Amino acid sequence: MRALYIARRFAVFLLIVWLAASLNFFLPRLSGQDPVRTKLLAEAQLGGYVHAGIEDMVKEYNQKFGLDRPLWRQYLSYLGDTAQLDFNYSISNYPRTVRDLIAEALPWTVGLLGMTTLLSFGIGSFLGALLAWPGAPRWMRYVMPPLWALHAIPFFLLGLILMYLFAFQLRLLPIFGGYSPGASPGFNIRFVLDVMAHATLPALSIILVATGGWALGMRGMMVTTMGEDYVTFAEAKGLRASTIFLRYCVRNAILPQTTALALALGQILSGAVLVEVIFGYPGIGALLFQAIRENDHFLIQGIVFTVIVALGFTTFILDVLYPWLDPRISYQRT
Amino acid sequence: MLRYLKRNPSLTVGIGFLGVLVVFIAVGMILIDPEDARPLSAPALHPPSWAYPFGTDRQGRDLFAAMVVGTPLTLRIGFIAGILGVVIGTILAFVAGFYRGIVDTAIRGVADIGLTVPGLLILIIIAVSVRGGLTVNQMALVVASLAWLNPTRTIRSQVLTLRERGYVEVARLSGMNGPEIIFFEMIPNLLPYLGATLVNAVSAAILASIGLEVLGLGPLEAPTLGMTLYWVNFNAAIINGWWWWWMAPIVIILLVFLGLFFMTVGLDEIANPRLRRSI
């Protein structure tokens, strides 16, 4: 049963990978552009005049890139390249490949997103659980409404406000980039502190927005869970309040939250892309912005494919872990 | 109606925020010349004054005019995409949830997979593919291409619970056919829920469109709110201390999102009476 469950989830993951690759292949072709001709014409215009032989050049380049072959053969070779993570050269950073650029940017995004998602999920769930609990401190009532209102705001908008307050007015934190210009990257205390200072504002703008959402969801689940008979029974048995809270209520209420986490990852990532753009944080989002500005098709496609696959894989892992969190699922049909 | 609004403060606040925006647009339309929203119509980088209440940007747009012209454009993208998303989502949800079978499996599968994928990235690929400058309406269609996923999923789960209700059973036994049950029995009961879903969808669509615009993929000619923020980012207006440039669009976007958020909270309360006693 377990193997079958994992195999089915993995099949869904492969389906996502294939769909992402096909999307990358077909969408630009549907629009009927000729990338080679556009590029050559643009270069010729830069040079000041259009060659008489430009059509011949287009033909030659098309042959070189295999664009004159039938569509299905292009598609197959594209799928083959993609499977080997070969996304071609980046047009705007020519000698470098798309794969290199992505590999350089990915750790920054994974670090920022991993940290902020875990923190906001943990803090939010904890606050939400406490909020539903009758014995919660009174001050919590005043913390929650602002957090819920923040939840309605896009990440990057809060980022702009935080940037103005803390980096421009108070000058407490750096305003731009992933580390100070001139700092030598390496594993020493100074560089690590520098990176953390630069990550604080982007991270804060994600955490402050996301926490309210998790708190809201957790509070709703806690209210339902606390109405269950087994909680009343636990109270009647005279169990300690902390035991009832953690082992009976939170343990059950956290399960739908985890499902929601798997579904929310895509949205969180969409928002984080813009945060990176605003703060010039050297991750995937900023790289994507640069690619869009310079019309670097290969780089855009490489990034979109990588991110979709990475997220699909994370969802797959969460799916596999879920029955372990919730024994009732027991790897049968979901 | 008024009495109900008093009992439902969230809805009142939400409608109030959006009302402020509508009044702002309406009054602004009388006061400004839409031509002033174009570059080079005013001196560049002028802080707020009587002549230019919101100041001007680096390319010489009167920001007051740009906001009056841009806010309805952003709202229009959101409403077109949101309405399309909910209509398509409702149809798919009823086909899937009411008739079940293999169609249901397919629709649910597509929606579930689509929702785990970061929507903004797909929209970027689409927007980059249809280059040559999007118009505002095309932009709405691009955003709508993914706006149906969430409504489909949430409405379908509502349909699943509704179809087991007693009155649906009665309607079925009394010989009503499928479409009749859907239109006369189920949809009227879902209306408040569909309303909340619509407001959510509009909010998500505006968020997506502003995201695309901030990345520079929106209609470059139109002074939409996201496009103003694109220029703010492009010219590093915050570091340079041109606070008025980003203040106006941010306040308006805050009003839009908070207004829509409070409206959903209020509508949820109508759709789900059990929430009324909580908090």
Secondary structure of residue A242 in the 3-state scheme: helix
Tell whether A194 is covered by a domain.
yes
Q: Please determine, for residue B277, whether its predicted confidence score (pLDDT) is greater than 50.
A: no
Residues of chain A contacting residue B235, judged by C-beta atoms under 8 Å apart: none
Tell whether A21 is covered by a domain.
no
At how many degrees (to 10) do helices A189-226 and A155-162 cross? 130
User: Which residue does chain A place closest to B200, by CA atoms?
Assistant: A152
**Min Cα separation B212/chain A (Å):** 9
Tell whether A222 is covered by a domain.
yes
Degrees (nearest 5) of the Cα angle A300, A302, A308? Answer: 100
At how many degrees (to 10) do helices B243-271 and B187-214 cross? 160
Distance between first and last Cα of chain B: 23
The CATH number that domain B72-221+252-272 falls under is: 1.10.3720.10
Task: Write the CB contacts of B106 (distance below 8 Å, at least 6 apart in sequence).
Answer: none
* pLDDT band with cut points at 50, 70 and 90 for residue B278: very low
- Burial of B113 (C-beta count, 10 Å sphere; 0-12/13-18/19+): middle
What are B's interface residues with A at a Cβ cutoff of 8 A? 113, 115-122, 124-126, 128-131, 203, 207-208, 210-211, 214-217, 229, 232-233, 238-239, 241, 243, 246, 250, 253-254, 257-258, 260-261, 278
pLDDT of residue A52: 61
Q: Would you call B216 and A23 a contact, using CB atoms and an 8 Å cutoff?
A: no
Query: Where in the sequence is the domain holding A211, given as residue range(s)?
Result: 112-281
Per-residue pLDDT of A42-57, as tens digits, reads 666 666 555 566 677 7
Q: Please determine, for residue B135, whether its predicted confidence score (pLDDT) is greater than 50.
A: yes
**Nearest of A141, A117, A114 to residue A127 by alpha carbon:** A141
Residue A92, token pair as written in the block: 């705007």
* pLDDT band with cut points at 50, 70 and 90 for residue A173: confident
Q: Please determine, for residue B18, whether its predicted confidence score (pLDDT) is greater than 60.
A: yes
| Residues B60 and B67: beta-carbon distance below 8 Å | no
Q: Please determine, for residue A136, whether its predicted confidence score (pLDDT) is greater than 90.
A: no
Rounded CA-CA distance B197/A323 in Å is 30
Per-residue pLDDT of B66-108, as tens digits, reads 999 999 999 999 999 999 999 999 999 999 988 888 999 999 8
**Nearest of B123, B150, B122 to residue A20 by alpha carbon:** B122
User: Which residue does chain A place closest to B237, by CA atoms?
Assistant: A164
Rounded CA-CA distance B156/B109 in Å is 12
Rounded CA-CA distance A320/B89 in Å is 29
Q: Which of A41-55, A261-275, A282-296, B88-102 has the lowest mean pLDDT?
A: A41-55
Q: Report domain extents, chain B.
A: 72-221+252-272
Q: What share of chain A is helix, strand, coil (3-state, %, to 5)?
A: 75, 0, 25
Q: Please determine, for residue A319, whether its predicted confidence score (pLDDT) is greater than 60.
A: yes
Q: Which of B13, B125, B258 should we substitute to test contact with A (largest number of A Cβ atoms within 10 Å)?
A: B125
CATH number at residue A160: 1.10.3720.10
**Nearest of A120, A209, A113 to residue A161 by alpha carbon:** A209
pLDDT of residue A78: 82
User: Which residue does chain A place closest to B213, by CA atoms?
Assistant: A274
Residue B190, token pair as written in the block: 């879902």
Q: Which of A117-121, A126-130, A188-192 has the lowest mean pLDDT?
A: A188-192
Question: How much is the average pLDDT of A224-240?
Answer: 90
Q: Would you call A288 and B126 a contact, using CB atoms and an 8 Å cutoff?
A: no
Q: Looking at chain A, which runs of residues are DSSP E strands?
A: none
* pLDDT band with cut points at 50, 70 and 90 for residue A179: confident
Q: In whole numbers, what is the pLDDT of chain A averaged over residues?
A: 84
Tell whether A182 is covered by a domain.
yes
Residues of chain A contacting residue B228, judged by C-beta atoms under 8 Å apart: none
Residues of chain B contacting residue A304, judged by C-beta atoms under 8 Å apart: 121-122, 124-125
Q: Please determine, for residue A80, whether its predicted confidence score (pLDDT) is greater than 70.
A: yes
pLDDT of residue B279: 41
Question: How much is the average pLDDT of B200-223?
Answer: 90
Degrees (nearest 5) of the Cα angle A193, B236, B53? Answer: 130
Tell whether A129 is covered by a domain.
yes
Element containing residue A5 per DSSP (H, E): helix A2-30
Rounded CA-CA distance A245/A223 in Å is 12
Q: What is the CA radius of gyration of chain B?
A: 22
Question: How much is the average pLDDT of B10-17?
Answer: 92
Q: Please determine, for residue A332, whether its predicted confidence score (pLDDT) is greater than 60.
A: no
Q: Would you call A263 and B115 a contact, using CB atoms and an 8 Å cutoff?
A: yes
Rounded CA-CA distance A42/A54 in Å is 12
Nearest CB to A311; choose among B116, B129, B215: B116
Tell whether A79 is covered by a domain.
no
Tell whether A38 is covered by a domain.
no
Question: How much is the average pLDDT of B159-176?
Answer: 88
Residue A314, token pair as written in the block: 């994370």
Q: Would you call B118 and A311 a contact, using CB atoms and an 8 Å cutoff?
A: yes
**Nearest of B10, B13, B54 to residue B36 by alpha carbon:** B54
Rounded CA-CA distance B105/B99 in Å is 11
Query: What domain count does chain A have?
Result: 1
Rounded CA-CA distance B162/B182 in Å is 10
Q: Which of A90-99, A272-281, B200-209, B229-238 has the lowest mean pLDDT?
A: A90-99
| Residues B32 and B25: beta-carbon distance below 8 Å | no
Q: In whole numbers, what is the pLDDT of chain B averaged over residues?
A: 88
Residue bearing tokens 């009155």: B167
| Residues B65 and B34: beta-carbon distance below 8 Å | yes
